A and B are shown apart, each in its own frame.
Chain A
């Protein structure tokens, strides 16, 4: 059995939050699907609410507090990422965006990512495609084709085994396949020297 790591980032604000609920369901389904492919996923969940002040401070000072620094390192080093946000004003929440603004532009390169979002009604669902997907594409992440949106309706009893479950399973399967195909992730080291001084001198 291969061992890999899964980072789960939830930008939900309330307790309990439907965003975290969706993130947990996506993570559980991904673990199951990965299991089937011979990959054991070690999951670490990050609640961005816990780091909200540190995220603002990072914007202002240019460096993370120690707890936030550990979160950033763990997400950058993970083999896969599930990122879930509530939809505010037709886009991701500011807290969600701030985290990815300070994460570092190389942290998600070639990393398999499953995107999810929550909102009051299904009218918000395409924010996943016009806001989240382009941002992760810019960061050169590998976003799986199925994104998962959960509206208030989806959490009703009648929907327990409904379309949301199917979407979760499909998206989780896509993410698990991406993880199983890849070598373990290597987190970038910003202090590593990548060129020789001769190359620097010659302007190459």
Chain B
């Protein structure tokens, strides 16, 4: 199982002292956080994409390539890459490029983006969100698998004899996760292609996640990619830890109360019971996270949000220490012990390459058998 962190790249005033990091400070802080994630033994760092303040991450592949150059094992991903407002040709190019530079340590999570005003800045309309996600991915999927593409659709200039460069590393496209909170069409899309499905999970009741993952698993089996419990599922989570749980609650409360997404609404206690947010000791995070499996089944990737709402870098790095030293080693062991042998790990570049080579070898063998007859 893979463990990691994801960041939405918000630049938020620290409510406890009124200070706001500059864009430069926050950008460098996120690089520090990513490097620390590798250092403490996490597997994945995923970065959001936004094109409006108070977020900085308009250019995720630039940031991820810079992090790739300073890490050796960390898998770089996104949370999410906007499949609606980005040109699928540019996504194909950018992420294949990143794949080469990072020696295959790249996958990506596609999402629609739910900020209405962003769409027209890129010549699109939020009311076409689902249609854009479906059509743009259909093109992206081909650009990474066919050397020369002729294509025509509703939303983009037609392509004639187009080759997206560089070609994916070793001819293996980056693995794709489709992220969604409550759009069944996206669970269906992930199932249709046999791609991964990432349930945002945070900020929402577990029931949403249970329903969406259930739908994805059922349709994954329907499309013949394997049994429902072999589908590739990722989940978000949100934690704030101190050794003593009362300290965690006391320290996190002002950040919670003023957070951009849910602040000034339900109490920390209400939100903790209604959503996967866990504020407490490392043991509480372990227990809560193991519980996710009870309503989504055995899953492949767990990402935690630990750096939003104005939390200072120091506190975030302390979260990473606790994750790396106390939480993830236990979760790894427990989840691995619970998972049946026929449930796969999340695909990596190496595993996808090995599977492709095996397929080619099998085809060669079959062809040789034909010739011999």
Question: A: which residues have CB within 8 A of B?
Answer: 56-57, 60-63, 65-66, 69, 190-195, 197, 200-201, 203
Within 8 A of A (CB), among B154-211: 154, 182, 184-185, 187-189, 192, 203-205, 208, 211
Q: Which among A65, A195, A201 is the interface contact of B274 at CB below 8 angstroms?
A: A65
Are B188 and A197 in contact (CB-based, < 8 A)?
yes
Are B184 and A63 in contact (CB-based, < 8 A)?
no
Q: Which among A65, A69, A191, A195 is the interface contact of B215 at CB below 8 angstroms?
A: A191
B264 at the interface (CB under 8 A from A): yes
B67 at the interface (CB under 8 A from A): no
Are A193 and B188 in contact (CB-based, < 8 A)?
yes
CB neighbours (8 Å) of A66 from chain B are 205, 274
B1 at the interface (CB under 8 A from A): no
Additional 14 contacts, C-beta under 8 A, given A60-B265, A195-B185:
A56-B265, A57-B265, A61-B203, A61-B265, A62-B203, A63-B205, A63-B208, A191-B211, A192-B184, A193-B188, A200-B185, A201-B135, A203-B153, A203-B154
CB neighbours (8 Å) of B215 from chain A are 191, 193
CB neighbours (8 Å) of B211 from chain A are 191
B361 at the interface (CB under 8 A from A): no
CB neighbours (8 Å) of A200 from chain B are 130-131, 134, 185, 188-189
How far in angstroms is the closest Cβ of chain B from A109? Answer: 19
Q: How far is the CA of A191 from the CA of B262 in the complex (A)?
A: 23
CB neighbours (8 Å) of A190 from chain B are 182
Are B204 and A63 in contact (CB-based, < 8 A)?
yes
CB neighbours (8 Å) of A203 from chain B are 131, 134-135, 153-154
B270 at the interface (CB under 8 A from A): yes
Q: How far is the CA of A66 from the CA of B205 in the complex (A)?
A: 9
CB neighbours (8 Å) of B130 from chain A are 200
Are A60 and B262 in contact (CB-based, < 8 A)?
yes
For this complex, 9 residue pairs linking A to B, each with C-beta atoms less than 8 Å apart, are A61-B271, A62-B204, A65-B266, A191-B182, A191-B208, A191-B211, A200-B188, A201-B134, A201-B135
Q: How far is the CA of A194 from the CA of B183 in the complex (A)?
A: 11
How far in angstroms is the closest Cβ of chain B from A71? Answer: 15
Are A197 and B192 in contact (CB-based, < 8 A)?
yes
Interface residue tally for chain B (C-beta within 8 Å): 30
CB neighbours (8 Å) of B261 from chain A are 61
Within 8 A of A (CB), among B92-139: 130-131, 134-135, 138
Q: Which among A62, A65, A192 is the interface contact of B270 at CB below 8 angstroms?
A: A65
How far in angstroms is the closest Cβ of chain B from A182? Answer: 27
CB neighbours (8 Å) of A60 from chain B are 262, 264-266
Within 8 A of A (CB), among B207-261: 208, 211-212, 215, 219, 261
How far in angstroms is the closest Cβ of chain B from A83? Answer: 25
6 A-B pairs with least C-beta separation: A60-B265, A191-B211, A57-B266, A193-B184, A57-B265, A197-B192
Most interface-central of B138, B211, B219, B265 (chain A CB within 10 A): B265
Q: How far is the CA of A66 from the CA of B184 in the complex (A)?
A: 22
Q: Which among B154, B184, B264, B274 is the interface contact of A191 at CB below 8 angstroms?
A: B184
For residue B264, which residue of chain A has the nearest CB? A60
Q: How far is the CA of A200 from the CA of B219 in the complex (A)?
A: 15
Q: How far is the CA of A168 from the CA of B135 in the complex (A)?
A: 55
Q: How far is the CA of A192 from the CA of B182 in the complex (A)?
A: 10
Q: How far is the CA of A192 from the CA of B212 in the complex (A)?
A: 9
CB neighbours (8 Å) of B138 from chain A are 201
CB neighbours (8 Å) of B192 from chain A are 197
How far in angstroms is the closest Cβ of chain A from B219? Answer: 8
Are B185 and A193 in contact (CB-based, < 8 A)?
yes
For residue B154, which residue of chain A has the nearest CB? A203
Q: How far is the CA of A195 from the CA of B130 in the complex (A)?
A: 12
CB neighbours (8 Å) of A197 from chain B are 188-189, 192
CB neighbours (8 Å) of A201 from chain B are 134-135, 138
Q: How far is the CA of A65 from the CA of B270 in the complex (A)?
A: 8
CB neighbours (8 Å) of A193 from chain B are 184-185, 187-188, 215, 219
How far in angstroms is the closest Cβ of chain A from B331? Answer: 26
Q: How far is the CA of A57 from the CA of B262 in the complex (A)?
A: 9
For residue B153, which residue of chain A has the nearest CB? A203
How far in angstroms is the closest Cβ of chain B from A72? Answer: 13
For residue A56, which residue of chain B has the nearest CB? B265
How far in angstroms is the closest Cβ of chain B from A52? Answer: 13
Interface string of B260-278 (1 = CB under 8 A from A): 0110111000110010000
CB neighbours (8 Å) of B212 from chain A are 191
With A190-B182, A195-B185, A201-B138 known as contacts, the answer to whether A57 contacts B270 (CB < 8 A) is yes
For residue A192, which residue of chain B has the nearest CB? B184
For residue B185, which residue of chain A has the nearest CB? A200
CB neighbours (8 Å) of B208 from chain A are 63, 191
CB neighbours (8 Å) of A65 from chain B are 266, 270, 274
With A197-B192, A203-B135 known as contacts, the answer to whether A61 contacts B262 (CB < 8 A) is yes
Q: How far is the CA of A201 from the CA of B134 in the complex (A)?
A: 6
How far in angstroms is the closest Cβ of chain A from B216? Answer: 10
CB neighbours (8 Å) of A61 from chain B are 203, 261-262, 265-266, 271
